[in-house]
Amino acid sequence: MSKVVIIMGSKADLEWAKRISDRLEQFGVDAILKVASAHKVPLECYNIIKEEEKENPVFITIAGLSNALSGFSDAQTYCPVIACPPSSNSFGGADIYSSLRMPSGVAPLVILNPENAALAAAKILGISNEKVQKKVVEFQEQQRAKLKEDNASLT
């Protein structure tokens, strides 16, 4: 079974991680949940990344405020990293810039919706896993069918 590593900056991000892992499950993808702050325990974070990248080629990071976790993680691995910071009204929402503005050579993808972060991870895994790809296609077909039904219900 395919797996995605979700690294949370703190256990306070667990509910956000659950939304991601629940959607991953729909695609037949397991989530490995970890807690490691790039600010507070960078060596532990580094060790998790290096250990997990051997078998699990996609990471999703969850950290708000000053999101060093996503950039740090991306700079340490050849695997794709998806930053999915929890929604926040801190600083008028401007803390999102810590997820968007990265130095050269550091390129985590930023997806704000947790279910969509899971979808992106499944699409990445689906490139080399036909079972996951099939579930992504089925999901997309269900989304299209729902829109057609909604449209038909209006006429």
Domain residue limits, the chain: 2-153
pLDDT digits (tens, 9 = 90+) for 25-67: 999 999 999 999 999 999 999 999 999 999 989 999 999 888 9
Calculate mean pLDDT across residues 5-20.
Answer: 97
Long-range contact list for 96-103, CB < 8 A, 24+ apart?
98/65, 98/66, 98/67, 98/68, 99/67, 99/70, 102/71, 102/74, 103/71
pTM: 0.94
Question: Fold for domain 2-153?
Answer: Rossmann fold (3.40.50)
Of the listed ranges 11-25, 85-99, 125-139, the one predicted with least confidence: 85-99
Nearest to residue 5, comparing CAs of 13, 24, 116, 66?
24
